[in-house]
Amino acid sequence: MKRLMLVLAAALLTCTGAAAQAPDFTGKTITMIIGYAPGGGTDASGRLIASHLVKYLPGKPNLIVQNMPGADGITAMNHFFSEQVKPDGLTITMGSSTQGDPVVYRQPQAHYDPTKLNFIGGVGRGGSTVVINKDAEKRLYDKSKPPVIMGSVGGIPRSGMQTTAWGIDLLNWNAKWVTGYPGTNELFLALERGEIDMTASSNLFQVRKLLETGKVKVLTQTGTMENGKIVSRSEFKDVPAFPDMVEGKVKDPLKEKAYKYWFSLVVLDKWLALPPGTPQPIVQAYRDAFAKLSKDQEFLELGKKISQDFETQDGPGVANLIKTLGGTTPEAVAYINTMLKGQGLGN
């Protein structure tokens, strides 16, 4: 009996060791599912990653891209969580911040939970910056003066532009919204002409061009993610990150959840993930490959053709953002809507 127990124990250790070994993808083909049509930002990022990631995976497998557009990414994610997709490392997905937004995946037609994914990494565009006319900056902190005019596209500002909404709410900024501009180019032209005093953009090229006039400055930035932490962008090391500006000022628990929801969406951009239940050795092999990819100069240079501010984000950092989003309550989302309406935005 004792001999039998020893044999069984040895067999168990052998199996465990084998299971913990790094996978070998030699001769295999990996499928990357993208929930959007070809040509968009998620598709471009996914295809660029696909062409380079295979160089760093064990066995250098083939990789094909399968576009599965529909319902703003919901169709692809529903498929990714179905029994058709096995957690064997041969199917991955390139997702977007929209697919990680609980407002989206809590809809009746969505049958997935991104908090259960195994995140490999992601790419971002360096967050957003708020730029302001230097002559108008003093008015931002003086309610006895005419309000600073903040320009925005559409009726409801994009998430990056909502930095100003939180500045009004948390920092008591003296600002007023003017919306309806068709795009960022028109906003920057309006700022140069003096039609507005302030706006926001994540486009580094546009911001740099505007700074060359000497009439504007970067007021604040949402920052970028490095090793799971938010830091100032290298281009604007002396510009305060917005989280530092509001630190200690978010005291109400509901407001805190709303703020964290908004900020996580701002930082989260495009992400790469494996299905739920994927063995840890496979997840680690992908993360190791992505870490090497993040230092590939050819990959980074090609990324800058997609976006001037193209940069990678590690898997654990992306997972933390998704986890924060997943903890958002409907009341927290409602707080943001109420805040925006109180500033004259939306219906």
Number of domains in the chain: 2
pLDDT at 309: 74
Residue 185 pLDDT greater than 80, yes or no: yes
The token pair at 101 is 């937004």
Residues 151, 90 within the same domain:
no
pLDDT at 228: 66
Looking at the structure, do residues 203 and 336 belong to the same domain, yes or no? yes
Q: What is the mean pLDDT of residues 55-76?
A: 96
Are both 229 and 287 inside the same structural domain?
no
Confirm whether 264 is domain-assigned: no
Helix boundaries (H) for the chain:
2-20, 41-53, 74-80, 102-105, 163-171, 184-193, 204-211, 242-245, 253-267, 280-293, 297-306, 315-326, 330-342
More confident residue, 112 or 125: 112
Residue 15 lies in a domain: no
Q: In CATH, what number is assigned to the domain containing residue 247?
A: 3.40.190.10
Domain shared by 117 and 139, yes or no: no
7 domain residue, yes or no: no
Say yes or no: 172 and 244 in one domain.
yes
Q: Is residue 245 part of a domain?
A: yes
Q: In angstroms, rounded to a whole number, what is the distance separating the alpha carbons of residues 84 and 101?
A: 24
| CATH code at position 57 | 3.40.190.150
Q: How far apart are CA 98 and CA 74, in angstroms?
A: 9
What values do phi and psi take at 47, rounded to 5?
Answer: -65, -35
Whether residues 146 and 236 fall in one domain: yes
Is residue 22 a part of any domain in this protein? no
Same domain? For 139 and 192 the reply is yes
* One domain for residues 117 and 133: no
Asked if the structure places residue 220 within a domain, the reply is yes
Residue 173 tokens, joined? 């900024």
Judging by beta carbons within 10 Å of its beta carbon (0-12, 13-18, 19+), is residue 326 exposed, middle or buried?
middle
Range of the domain at 220: 129-252+332-342
The pTM score is: 0.85
Interatomic CA distance for residues 161 and 153, integer angstroms: 9
Please indicate, yes or no, if residue 167 is contained in any of the structural domains: yes
Is residue 130 pLDDT above 50, yes or no?
yes
Residues 336 and 219 in one domain: yes
Do 223 and 158 lie in one domain? The reply is yes
Q: What's the whole-number mean pLDDT along residues 177-205?
A: 90
Secondary structure (DSSP) of 187-245: HHHHHHHTS-SEEEE--HHHHHHHHTTSSEEEEEE--EEETTEEE--GGGTTSPBHHHH
Long-range contacts of 157-160 (CB under 8 A, 24+ apart): 157/200, 157/340, 157/345, 158/200, 159/128, 159/262, 159/265, 159/266, 160/127, 160/128, 160/200, 160/201, 160/202, 160/222, 160/266
- pLDDT tens digits, one per residue of 311-324: 899 999 999 999 99
171 and 151 co-located in one domain: yes
pLDDT at 20: 57
Distance, in Å, from the CA atom of 256 to the CA atom of 332, rounded to the nearest integer, reads: 8
Q: Give the whole-angstrom CA distance, residue 74 versus residue 61.
A: 28
Instruction: Examine the domain organization and report whether 115 and 243 are in the same domain.
Output: no
Mean pLDDT, the chain, rounded, equals 90
Residue 1 lies in a domain: no
